[in-house]
Structures are given as structure tokens and as C-alpha cells.
Structure 1
Amino acid sequence: MPWMPELFSESVLEEWRERHARRKIVDVPYYDGLLAGEPDALIGAFAGEPTVFHPVRGRLEGEWQLRAYAAEVRGWFRARGAEAQELQHVVGPQRGFEEVLVTGPTGALPLALVADHADGSHLDEIRIYFSVEHFIGHRVTRQPLLQAAPHVELPPVIAEYLRALADADLEAASAAYTKAGTIRSADGTVAPDLHEFHAAICRAGGLVLDACRLTGDERSVALEYNVLRLGDSGAPPQAGVVVFDLESGGARIKAARIYDDVERPRLSQP
């Protein structure tokens, strides 16, 4: 997911097979589908009215908005010589997620998307997450896309991690990660020190997230959330997603990659 390969022409599928060195294209990566120049395939991938939530463009709904969006994306990539590299994707029975790195002359943008497909194949909607600062030069407050789900079943280590952040419990937050654990921010930078990354949040008063939906498998999960409070900033709720890679058995977090526009506290200078 998100696109269904049987809807694209054989010439396009053959190009993807050669590029990805695959004998068969089981599912079509998001940007491969957008850049293929076959909007009918994109429309046909949805069970009903196409719906895409985009950080810059907002809610795109209906056939003509999706066609216009796909044409705009193709033009943007061509004009800048940009490329999209799929980093990973995980597909479940009713939902899947994909991580992408969009690269061009001005740098790289990490991006994640979650696609709902309740019938197991056709899409219901796609939600895209990245920091818009790359495009417009400043952060924005992205309103929640989903309602909180108090009973969402989180892996125990992630549930404990969210509790530690909310309680500003520095030791517990840091202990959720393996010794070689990493956190990548929405701008693509990796925190040089996990303990200090969490210390900055705890000094500010903690970070409270509402879990909305969890997508993934035993290795990697994408948690869509609303940030309710970061310290005493008083900012309104904001939507985001974080992808966690878990060690075997799920006892610790190996890596976290954040996709939102929330400005977290700066690390202390040495």
C-alpha cells in the first residue's frame, strides 16, 4: 500500500520492477504512484471519494483535487530534480504506513504517511506527516486529524515511555531505549544524546500526548497522536506521528523518528 499495482499500466510496472530489482510489485510506494502520470490508477485505489490530509494543502477530497495534487507533485519533482526514496513500509490488514525521504538540491525532507484500507485493499484515506518548516520557513500548528483513542493497545514499552514523558520522569524516559537507541527529529537531525534530549523535555515540564491510532508489526509501529501539552507553552493540540523501531521481543525502543511541527525544547549547550 497505498496504491494497488493492478491499476497501473504494464509499462509503468516494468519500470518499477527494474528500478526496485523486484520480480513482482506487490504494492506501489506512495510517490512512485503519484509520479507515474496515471491519475486514474490513483482514483481507482480508493473505496470511495479520494481523501488525503496534507500538512501544507490541508484536506484534499474528491477526484479532481487528487488529480490536481498529483499533477502538482509531478511538476514540483521535475522542476527541482527531486527524488523520493522509500525507507520502509509496513502493511496490516486494515492500515499501513510508509516512511519516505524526499531529496533535492536544497536538502532532504523526512516524510511519513498512514493509509487506512478497511476492506484490506482499497484505500479509505491517507494522512501525510512532515514538518512544513522545510517549505515555508517556519513551523505551524497542525490541528488534530484524529480523535484520541484511550483504549488503543500500545506495546508496553511505548505506553511506559509516554507515561514517563507526561510525568517528566527523565530516568524512565531514557530507560525505554536500548543503549544504542536513537531519536530523529522532524527536520532529519538525530539527537546527539538521548539522555539530554529527554532532560530538555523534562526540564520544560514534560510532554503529554494523546494516542490516536497504532499501525505496524512486532518490529516497527507508527503511532499517530495529538500533542496536548509541552511544558507550560499553552499551545493548542497538534497532530503528528512517530515511528518506533523495537528490539526483538519489544522490551526496548531501538529508534524513534518524529514527524510533526512541534518545537521541542532546545538541548543545553556544552
Structure 2
Amino acid sequence: METPANLFSLFLESLGGRTSRFCEQLSDSVVLDTPITGKAVGRLQSEDALNRLSAWFRDYNARLEYGRTVAGSDGYAAAEGKAFLQLDGWDVGVPLAVAMDLNPSQKLTGFRLYHTLWPVKHAHTLRGPLFDSERATLPKDVADYHHALENGDAAKAAGLFESDGTVREPSGGISGGRETPLSRFFEWAFQAGGVSLHYHRLVDSGSHVAAEYTCYRWANKEIPPQAGMEFWDRSDSGLFRAVRIYDDVEQPS
């Protein structure tokens, strides 16, 4: 049986064209969903979607980089990586994340890929919600972060981070760190109001947390519900060291 970390490595391998080993890990009832191919139900549809997804990444001569896997004890796991796409003669890094649902045999029953298409299309691509009414129970620090986002409270949001904490946006831009206070990022993000999310699935390893969400309001405006994923790194103090966001949501004007 493959571990979640190995499954993610096989997925990255499949994006390079070697899909067979990853396809062997799909259950007959698997549901696969990606920004490129949409939703596929069952193994045959998912294998076809995976081949089309692999062709898309190979069209950009993608170089894939493994990041980190966060696994729980309930058959749910998340992982991060990066694809370097050749665009106009440049290698452009596109952060990507996956969520995996595993049965007791460690076969995939669900696989969801998250990344922005902004670097390729120079426009945001609406991706509808992937969950209905399911809600995750949030640990206190993530719940505090969630409330700060919803209330547009820049000071509270920044206060949940270490002094050199960072937020990485979907296209890879990093705000905060030692040079620039993270509060400036949140003040910009909340200039017209907060961001409202429903969190659906969550995995918490202690030092790392990952969750899938639906964003449905930003800047006090209802927006089409859109899927996303978020990762948090905790420091020894209990504050956040970093947050990384994976979605294609456009800030309302």
C-alpha cells in the first residue's frame, strides 16, 4: 500500500507523462477534480482526465517539484508542490496542492487538485464549489484566523503570525517576512471588507494544517462560490509561521 506522500509523488510523475503507476492507485469509484479537466467520476473517466491533465502540463514542459504532505488518521491527506511552466521563454512557478481521500486499502476514492491559472491566462478562472453542506471542525487558531478574515480585521489576522510570518498568494507572491509587516498585506486584502469562507475538510498534524474551502463573499459582496485550499505552518510558539493559499478567486473591484 502506498503512503499519501508516495501517492503525491506518483501524481507528479503522472504529470510528466508516466500515468500508469498513479492510475493503479485509483479505486473504481474515485472522483477526480482539477481546474483543467473538471470533475471525473469513476476510474475510466479519471484515467482519461489524468491523461488530458498530463498533456496540458507537458505542453508547457512542466518541471514538477515536491513539497510537503500532511496526513491524518481518517484517510484524508493533503500535499503541496510546484509546477514550473515554460511561458514566453521563462520558467514560471505555479504553486499547486492536492487533497486525497483514501479507503482502508490506501486506494484513492477522491483526488482534488488546486492551483491558479492566472500565470497562463492572465485572468482568473471561476471554479465552482466542490462541497455542499459538509463543514470542518476548526482548531482554535484556524478558527481565530477564519473570524479575522470574515470580519476584515487586519490587526487580528496579523497578530496570529510570528513577526516574520508570511502569506503566499495563489500565483506565488509572498507578503510579510522580516522586511515588510504582514499587517500591510491584510490591510490591502481587507480594504473594502473581509473574506467569507466555508471550510469543509481539514487535516492537522500539529505543526501543519491544511483545509479545503469555498469562498462565497469578499469585500462585503456576494461572489460566485469558488473552491480553494489553504495550508498553515505553526511555529513552536503556537503562532503561524506561514499561510499558503491555492485558489483562483478574484478580488471584487
- Bin of the TM-score, shorter chain as denominator length: 0.7 to 0.9
Which residue of structure 2 lines up, in the alignment, with residue 104 of structure 1?
A: 85
Verify: 1:255 aligned to 2:230, yes or no.
no
The answer (yes or no) to whether the contact 1:148–1:211 under 8 Å persists in 2 is no
C-alpha distance in 1, partners of 2:200/2:155? 26
User: Is residue 54 from structure 1 mapped to residue 39 from structure 2 by the alignment?
Assistant: no
**Structure 1 residues 120 and 208: alpha-carbon distance in aligned structure 2, compared to 1, 3 A threshold:** farther
Alignment partners' CA distance in 2, 1:58 and 1:74: 14
Whether 2:79 is the aligned partner of 1:91: answer: no
Choose the corresponding residue for 1:4, options 2, 5, 13. Answer: 2
Instruction: Note closer, same or farther for the CA distance 1:37–1:105 as it changes in structure 2 (3 Å cut).
Output: closer
Conserved? CA contact 1:208–1:230, under 8 Å? yes
User: Counterparts of 2:198 and 2:55 in 1: how far apart (Å)?
Assistant: 37
CA distance in 2, matches of 1:155, 1:120: 28
CA drift at 1:156: 1.2
CA distance in 2, matches of 1:245, 1:110: 16
* AA partner of residue 223 (structure 1): A
Please state whether the residue corresponding to 1:50 is helix, strand or coil.
strand
> Quick one: structure 1 residues 137 and 36, their matched pair in 2 at CA, closer, same or farther if it must change by over 3 Å?
closer
Task: Give the aligned partner of residue 194 of structure 2.
Answer: 206
2:218 aligns with 230
Deviation, 1:59, is 0.3
Residue-by-residue CA offset, 1:65-94 (whole Å, 9 max, x unaligned): 333333334444444432100111122221
AA aligned to 2:242 is A
Match of 2:118 in 1: 133
Deviates more, 1:27-36 or 1:159-168: 27-36
Select 2:138's aligned residue among 141, 145, 154: 154
* Matched-pair identity in %: 26
Letter in 2 for 1:261: D
> Aligned partners of 2:121 and 2:30: how far apart in 1?
26
Q: Could you tell me which runs of 5 or more consecutive residues in structure 2 were left unpaired when the two chains were aligned.
A: none
Preserved contact between residue 4 and residue 28 of structure 1 (Cα < 8 Å): no
Distance 2:106 2:95 in 1: 26
Structure 2 residue aligned with 1:169: 153
Question: SS state of the match for residue 141, structure 1?
Answer: coil
The alignment partner of 1:171 has SS state of helix
Residue 54 of structure 1 contacts residue 128 of structure 1 at CA under 8 Å; is this kept in 2?
yes
> Which has a greater percent of strand?
2
Matched, 1:115 2:115: no
Q: CA RMSD in A?
A: 2.4
Q: Distance in 1 between matches of 2:8 and 2:130?
A: 25
> Larger radius of gyration, structure 1 or 2?
1
| SS class of match (1:87) | strand
Partner in structure 2 of residue 191 of structure 1: 175
In the alignment of these two chains, the number of paired residues is 242
Unaligned stretches of 5+ residues in structure 1? 6-24
> CA-to-partner distance for each residue in 1:27-56, whole Å, 9 max, x for gaps?
5512124546352x4333123233211112
CA deviations on 1:224-259 (whole Å, 9 max, x unpaired) are 11112101332121110011111126x211100000
Task: Provide closer, same or farther for how the CA distance between residues 138 and 84 of structure 1 changes in structure 2, counting only shifts above 3 A.
Answer: same
Q: Is the CA contact 2:208–2:234 (under 8 Å) kept in the aligned structure 1?
A: yes
Residue identity opposite 1:82 in structure 2 = A
